[in-house]
Chains A and B, each alone.
Chain A
């Protein structure tokens, strides 16, 4: 399966990059969301996959079954998901604000910061 996951990740990443290269701000943000999702899968895959048993200690047993999935990457990804969500949400809000100040989502039309050079 590793190859499949790797391929999936690379396609997600490529798609994300492609969206980032667009000029529409919302599209770019979606691109970042894609990249972030890809990154999460990278971490998940980095812990090596294969087991289907969740890392939850059965009632009555003291330790985790050897067959259980790798717990650490799960925790990391969980953190990463939440952080990524918070940031993309802010980015969306920023896009809303940008639209109300520039009346467009075209990043090429946003030139207020560096209007006059030198």
Chain B
């Protein structure tokens, strides 16, 4: 197969494979075992193809594929640059680990409720959102993501899940409707839908109430998706109710898609400098960090603590968009990569802890340092990384964004970030002291052992975290290269219009 076809295929596989898997598992409706088997094989294939995509973008910088071979801006195109490729690869890694975990956690009720088709459907939507080069197509993938995540959320059909799902559904539906309106307005203003073409046309239009309003409307829509302050209510309400595997993949991917979209739209289409959006983002980021971490500090249920941390960490990532220097963008990219792995891992760990100690409320558990010393180590790795303790991955992530904010003369933002780090450390150590150090609240005669298949994904993700931490150079270098397309849209536009399949190297 020639190079061009290969590049095309690696670019579309991350969406086609999960979509096909969803369809096939739907056809295998009556046979859970078959669904499991097909699922795991497919996840491996997805992982492989995603890594192939990363490899391809490191060689050709930007890959663009036109569906139906209709040229941009007339047809829909997929665009893979370093950022989207990284997101796809992380998503695949996560999907694989969660898939493993799910083998153990998902009961018959979940599978007959359609776990596998919905799970793969969600991955499809996520990857589609990461890869698409068309704003309306992005809307479609958002909806795929939304409906599948809703389906996954209610699989258990407990009261808490239904309540959580209601809040999740209503608030996110509001979000997507506003997103749709914004897309419509954008089309009305520019007459085109492809990112690259919009990036070419929009600067030529003069500012108008409609256009600025469209921009802020996008910000709100993505804010709801990503969980900015004060639009994150649905998140702590719904995530802690889902099964651990599901809340893990949610925690890892869903909000990041919103963040990713915000980065795409506000680097390619609307630059943050004009119309005071930059200042807004900075303030929003600060509040998101603080309010989120305060929520975490005030909770005792492990999953609630973690859910609030998602919010506060989103704030850190938003710093990158607020500062918008190459360093900041690189920091944001690195932060997303690190955070997805760590946060998903912590949710899986919450599941393991719950399994081992019998409770999600850390006050009720305890003594696990004695009973599960290995688990203690496995917990410390992502926990300390989340808190940004060196030399784990979180430290480098914070290093980059904080350094960037100092260099951009936004010392106050750096201060907020550092303060948030302290409370993050506190809330993680709270879990440590309650669940692992203190004597168990209820004495158990028999130690509950944890099945290997449940621990395996945790180990894999922890290993990745440690790798990023101790061998940060390649990841930081990659992020710096990835920040090029974010800080200089012209690179992106030219890549699409000049040569859709591959473009020459460029230097950051």
> Do A's and B's CB atoms come within 8 Å in the complex?
yes
- Which residues of A does B touch, CB under 8 Å? 20, 25, 28-29, 32, 35-36, 38-39, 42-43, 45-48, 72-73, 76, 79-80, 83, 86-87, 90-91, 94-95, 97-98, 101-102, 107, 110-114, 117-118
CA distance A35 to B147 in the complex (A): 18
Q: Does B166 contact A (CB under 8 A)?
A: yes
Q: Among B169, B181, B241, which residue has its beta carbon within 8 angstroms of that of A38?
A: B181
Residues of B with C-beta under 8 A to A72: 187
Residues of B with C-beta under 8 A to A86: 143, 147
B166 with A98: CB separation less than 8 A: yes
Smallest CB separation, B154 vs chain A (Å): 7
B180 with A36: CB separation less than 8 A: yes
A94 with B154: CB separation less than 8 A: yes
Q: Does B293 contact A (CB under 8 A)?
A: no
B170 with A28: CB separation less than 8 A: yes
Q: Does B236 contact A (CB under 8 A)?
A: yes
A39 with B159: CB separation less than 8 A: no
| Sample of 18 more A-B contacts, CB < 8 Å, known A83-B143, A110-B162, A113-B163 | A20-B170, A25-B166, A39-B184, A42-B181, A42-B184, A43-B188, A46-B189, A76-B187, A80-B139, A80-B180, A86-B143, A87-B146, A87-B176, A98-B162, A102-B163, A113-B164, A114-B163, A114-B236
For A16, the closest partner residue in chain B by CB is B177
B169 with A94: CB separation less than 8 A: yes
B180 with A39: CB separation less than 8 A: yes
B300 with A32: CB separation less than 8 A: no
Residues of B with C-beta under 8 A to A45: 184, 188
What are 26 contact pairs spanning A and B, CB under 8 A? Answer: A36-B180, A39-B180, A43-B180, A45-B184, A46-B185, A46-B189, A48-B188, A72-B187, A79-B140, A80-B180, A83-B143, A90-B147, A91-B170, A94-B150, A94-B165, A94-B166, A94-B169, A95-B166, A98-B166, A107-B166, A110-B166, A111-B163, A113-B240, A114-B236, A114-B237, A118-B300
Q: Does B46 contact A (CB under 8 A)?
A: no
For A118, the closest partner residue in chain B by CB is B298
For B151, the closest partner residue in chain A by CB is A90
- Which residues of B does A touch, CB under 8 Å? 136, 139-140, 143, 146-147, 150-151, 154, 157-167, 169-170, 173-174, 176-177, 180-181, 183-185, 187-189, 236-238, 240-241, 298-300
Smallest CB separation, B4 vs chain A (Å): 29
Residues of A with C-beta under 8 A to B159: 101-102, 112
Smallest CB separation, A7 vs chain B (Å): 16
Residues of B with C-beta under 8 A to A32: 170, 173-174, 177
Smallest CB separation, A21 vs chain B (Å): 11
CA distance A115 to B114 in the complex (A): 28
A87 with B163: CB separation less than 8 A: no
Smallest CB separation, A32 vs chain B (Å): 5
For A48, the closest partner residue in chain B by CB is B188
B238 with A113: CB separation less than 8 A: yes
For B295, the closest partner residue in chain A by CB is A118
Q: Among B162, B167, B177, which residue has its beta carbon within 8 angstroms of that of A35?
A: B177
Smallest CB separation, B126 vs chain A (Å): 17
CA distance A79 to B140 in the complex (A): 8
Residues of A with C-beta under 8 A to B236: 114
- Given A36-B177, A118-B298, answer yes or no on A113-B160 (Cβ-Cβ < 8 Å): yes
B188 with A87: CB separation less than 8 A: no
CA distance A95 to B146 in the complex (A): 17
- Given A87-B143, A113-B241, answer yes or no on A43-B184 (Cβ-Cβ < 8 Å): yes
B185 with A112: CB separation less than 8 A: no
Smallest CB separation, A5 vs chain B (Å): 12
Residues of B with C-beta under 8 A to A95: 166
The CB with the most chain A CB atoms within 10 A, among B146, B163, B165, B184, is that of B184
For B158, the closest partner residue in chain A by CB is A112
Smallest CB separation, B449 vs chain A (Å): 30
B147 with A87: CB separation less than 8 A: yes
Smallest CB separation, A111 vs chain B (Å): 7
For B142, the closest partner residue in chain A by CB is A83
CA distance A28 to B300 in the complex (A): 32
Residues of A with C-beta under 8 A to B165: 94
- Given A83-B140, A94-B169, A118-B300, answer yes or no on A110-B163 (Cβ-Cβ < 8 Å): yes
Residues of A with C-beta under 8 A to B139: 80
Residues of A with C-beta under 8 A to B177: 32, 35-36, 39
A43 with B187: CB separation less than 8 A: yes
CA distance A29 to B173 in the complex (A): 9
CA distance A28 to B140 in the complex (A): 23
Q: Among A25, A43, A94, which residue has its beta carbon within 8 angstroms of that of B183?
A: A43
Residues of B with C-beta under 8 A to A42: 181, 184-185, 188
- Given A43-B187, A118-B300, answer yes or no on A112-B160 (Cβ-Cβ < 8 Å): yes
Smallest CB separation, A74 vs chain B (Å): 12
For B153, the closest partner residue in chain A by CB is A94
